[in-house]
Amino acid sequence: MKRARIIYNPTSGREIFKKHLAEVLVKLENAGYETSCHATTGEGDATQAARIAVERRYDLVIAAGGDGTINEVVNGIAEQEYRPKIGVIPVGTTNDFARALHIPRDIDAAVDIIVKGETIPVDVGRINDRYFINIAGGGRMTELTYEVPSKLKTMLGQLAYYLKGIEMLPSIRASEVAIEYDGKLYEGEVMMFLVGLTNSVGGFERLAPNSSINDGMFSLLILKKTNLADFIRIASLAVRGEHINDPGVIYTQANRIKVQSKETVQLNLDGEYGGNLPAEFENLFRHIEVYVPLDEIRPEDRPENLELNFKAE
Ligand SMILES: Nc1ncnc2c1ncn2[C@@H]1O[C@H](COP(=O)(O)OP(=O)(O)OP(=O)(O)O)[C@@H](O)[C@H]1O
């Protein structure tokens, strides 16, 4: 019998997961999993719980929460030699990782995907000994994600971020940075830089349109210093993925990225504060296995084609 560990955040999103826990357990039991649960108690607890799940050699770890919870679970697993497969039940306010992997927000449907048992390997980002699965970045613009009060998030969901963004826009300053990427160098003032593993960020599904979840490459997006009018223009292009050719934007793929600044620039890892610059980003190629609806994954990202990609490199 396989053993599964559910690590769930009881405060995620609209706090609905608890009410569905019994049916989730029954479903996993019927599928042949012996399952136990851990409810997180606060910051860092999901990482600790994931480390313990690794020690106890669980076959899979199911993270139920938002991007913050999944990030924490991956942080407990990514550093280990034995890495259980990861299932995701997206019940957070932002669920960018799940969206990028086409995992549905419906709890029942998300569990069905785990039960079906199809997985793909995905890349994980490492930065100064911390890990991220979706996006890292820096610059004043990225700071709005943790300035949104959690009560507002529960009430308004994704909308809370946009409201905060609009409120902060006029006060956003540029930061002077040096960004080295695969031997190239950009030096200048930026509103933000983003280092992405998936194409889905903050509900913008085309922010990094060329991202592949398992090609060993980051998408690097640099938004140069702009005035408010240009910023609004670029943001509206970004909805359609058309910002990448704008002169105010640098968009490229890179495997290793180093960012420095003389100023204090905060980093954001998967939507949470992640220390300050300097930072070195390293892409850990196909580092974790995640349960996904395989039919909906792009052909080039599916396991049967991965070997081919690899040989072609
Ligand atoms: N019992 C708890 N009480 C309060 N905070 C918690 C608890 N358990 C975990 N947390 C914190 O909640 C943070 C964010 O949670 P998570 O990402 O799951 O959901 P969310 O806030 O609804 O969504 P998002 O982060 O996507 O906006 C975690 O990083 C963790 O620090």
| DSSP per position, 32-44 | TEEEEEEE--STT
Region 2-117: CATH code: 3.40.50.10330
Name the residue with the closest Cα to ligand 1, atom 4: 42
pTM of the model as a whole: 0.88
* Strands 184-196 and 218-224, bridge-based pairing: antiparallel
Instruction: Out of 7, 11, 47, give the residue to mutate to test ligand 1, the one with the largest number of ligand atoms within 8 Å of its CB.
Output: 11
- b/e 51-82 (16+ beta carbons within 10 angstroms → b): bebbeeebebbbbbbbbbbbbbbbbbbbeeee
46 Cα to the center of ligand 1, angstroms: 10
Ligand 1 atom at shortest distance from the alpha carbon of 150: 21
Is the domain 132-284 a CATH 3.90.960.10 member?
no
Residue tagged active-site, from 272, 282, 296, 304: 272
Asked about 272 being catalytic, the answer comes back as: yes
Provide the pLDDT for residue 151: 63
255 Cα to the center of ligand 1, angstroms: 30
Closest CA to 281 of 263, 265, 269: 269
Total length of the chain? 313
- CA dist 262 and 205 (Å) reads 32
Provide the pLDDT for residue 158: 59
- b/e 187-210 (16+ beta carbons within 10 angstroms → b): eeebbbbbbbbbbbbbbbbbbbee
For the stretch 114-119, contacts whose Cβ atoms lie closer than 8 Å and that sit 24 or more positions apart, written own/partner, are 114/4, 114/28, 114/60, 114/62, 114/87, 114/291, 115/27, 115/28, 115/31, 116/291, 116/293, 117/291, 118/291, 118/292, 118/293, 118/294, 119/85, 119/289, 119/290, 119/291, 119/292, 119/303
Ligand 1 atom at shortest distance from the alpha carbon of 154: 22
The ipTM (two decimal places) reads 0.94
CA distances to 134, 199, 221, 254 from 209, in Å: 14, 6, 11, 14
Phi-psi region of 270 (alpha: psi -120 to 50; beta: other; left: phi over 0): left
Ligand 1 atom at shortest distance from the alpha carbon of 94: 26
- CA dist 123 and 9 (Å) reads 24
Name the residue with the closest Cα to ligand 1, atom 5: 42
The domain ranges of the chain are 2-117, 132-284
Pocket of ligand 1 (CB under 6 A): 9-13, 40-43, 45, 65-69, 72, 92-94, 153, 271-272
Instruction: Out of 8, 16, 17, 40, give the residue to mutate to test ligand 1, the one with the largest number of ligand atoms within 8 Å of its CB.
Output: 40
**In order along the chain (313 residues), what is the average pLDDT of each group of 10 residues?**
96 92 97 97 97 98 96 97 98 90 96 97 94 89 64 62 68 89 95 86 70 90 89 83 89 95 91 90 96 90 69 48
